[in-house]
């Protein structure tokens, strides 16, 4: 390949899993990631928002997730996320709920709802207090009992993922998205020698060697780099504003406490003065009676 291509760049990611030409890769990915979850493996899938290479040349705000529905009616949303930010968990939950709710049209009953799966590949860690790279979230109570088995949210933190040997297809895909940007076509590692990974390399090669596709890739890479920079600067500014707000609140609390203490001291002083005056009057009465 002329240029090494990172499969985490969203237009490449969507070309791999969201194009009609790579529909079999999408099916393989879903079965790999949800192998222990799906009672019936995915054998067919309809891509609901298929990849179009032209949209990435003209529209920097293209929809870059992958949405699909299988033969059993189950829905899937797959997304790559390069930057972790404060409201990402809210966004992840909202997109799952939105896809789940969009199944029903006016007048349709709840029995038509089908399991929905949100699958997120995260370049940065979202759950810092947990060493596990895979997290499966479902509707459960505090004792782990299911309210309803209707899918859930699958998070994969690529930065935490590490495997000396690739033993499952899930690991193979995660390895690809974590380290694919460093792959050398002339010296591919053993774990890349499968039919699916050879097809992946063919797609990466198209981005590398076709001038128009490579320009699209570069444009997306630069755009995402700028967005990450802006987002980090914005988050830093928000943190500084939050620290200033907390400092201001602490100062106001300290001032209010000082005022309360001054008011209490003044009240005590007035009480003591009133007591002293009352004692003087008492003594005057005693003297007058003698």
Note whether 2 and 204 are within 8 A (CB): no
In a domain, 248, yes or no: no
If you write DSSP's letter for every residue of 87-139 in order, what string do you get? THHHHHHHHHHHHHHTT--TT--GGG---EEEEEEESS-S-TT---SEEEE--
In a domain, 245, yes or no: no
Look at residue 143 in the predicted model and tell me its pLDDT. Answer: 92
The whole-angstrom separation of Cα 68 and Cα 54 is 21
Query: Going by C-beta distance under 8 Å and a sequence separation of 6 or more, which residues neighbour residue 79?
Result: 64, 65, 66, 95, 118, 119, 120, 121
Look at residue 218 in the predicted model and tell me its pLDDT. Answer: 65
What interhelical angle do 23-33 and 195-209 show, nearest 10? Answer: 130
Look at residue 11 in the predicted model and tell me its pLDDT. Answer: 84
In a domain, 21, yes or no: yes
- Which of these, 213, 193, 171, 168, lies nearest to 1 by C-alpha position? 213
In a domain, 286, yes or no: no
Strands (E), the chain: 45-47, 66-70, 75-81, 116-122, 134-137, 151-157
Look at residue 215 in the predicted model and tell me its pLDDT. Answer: 63
Look at residue 126 in the predicted model and tell me its pLDDT. Answer: 94
pTM for the model = 0.75
Return the H-helix or E-strand segment holding 200.
helix 195-209
Look at residue 10 in the predicted model and tell me its pLDDT. Answer: 85
* Average pLDDT, 10 consecutive residues per value, the chain (290 residues): 85 93 97 94 94 64 83 96 88 95 88 96 93 94 91 97 93 96 91 96 86 64 69 78 86 87 88 85 76
In a domain, 62, yes or no: yes
In a domain, 254, yes or no: no
Burial (CB count within 10 angstroms: exposed 0-12, middle 13-18, buried 19+), residue 99: buried
| Residue 30, token pair as written in the block | 């879903």
Q: Is 80 helix (H, G, I), strand (E, B) or coil?
A: strand
In a domain, 257, yes or no: no
Cβ atoms within 10 A of the Cβ of 39, count?
7
The domain total for the chain is 1
Look at residue 213 in the predicted model and tell me its pLDDT. Answer: 67
Look at residue 134 in the predicted model and tell me its pLDDT. Answer: 96
Look at residue 275 in the predicted model and tell me its pLDDT. Answer: 87
Residue with tokens 């400092």: 247
Residue 217 belongs to domain spanning: 10-239
In a domain, 215, yes or no: yes
């Amino acid at each position: 390949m002329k240029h090494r291509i990172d499969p985490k760049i969203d237009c490449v990611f969507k070309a791999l899993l969201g194009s009609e030409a790579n529909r079999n890769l999408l099916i393989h990915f879903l079965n790999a990631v949800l192998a222990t979850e799906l009672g019936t493996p995915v054998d067919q899938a309809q891509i609901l928002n298929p990849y179009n290479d032209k949209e990435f040349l003209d529209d920097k705000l293209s929809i870059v997730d992958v949405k699909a529905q299988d033969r059993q009616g189950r829905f899937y949303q797959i997304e790559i996320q390069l930057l972790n930010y404060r409201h990402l968990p809210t966004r992840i939950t909202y997109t799952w709920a939105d896809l789940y709710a969009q199944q029903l049209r006016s007048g349709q009953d709840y029995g038509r709802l089908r399991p929905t799966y949100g699958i997120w590949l995260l370049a940065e860690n979202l759950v810092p207090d947990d060493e596990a790279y895979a997290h499966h979230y479902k509707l459960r109570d505090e004792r782990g009992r299911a309210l309803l088995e209707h899918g859930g949210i699958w998070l994969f933190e690529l930065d935490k993922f590490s495997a000396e040997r690739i033993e499952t297809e899930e690991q193979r895909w995660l390895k690809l998205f974590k380290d694919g940007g460093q792959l050398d076509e002339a010296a591919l590692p053993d774990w890349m020698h499968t039919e699916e990974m050879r097809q992946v390399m063919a797609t990466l090669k198209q981005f590398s060697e076709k001038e128009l596709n490579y320009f699209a890739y570069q444009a997306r890479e630069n755009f995402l780099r700028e967005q990450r920079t802006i987002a980090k600067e914005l988050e830093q500014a928000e943190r500084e504003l939050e620290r200033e707000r907390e400092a201001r609140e602490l100062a106001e609390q300290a001032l209010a406490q000082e005022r309360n203490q001054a008011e209490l001291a003044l009240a005590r002083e007035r009480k003591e003065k009133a007591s002293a005056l009352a004692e003087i009057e008492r003594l005057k009465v005693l003297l007058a009676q003698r």
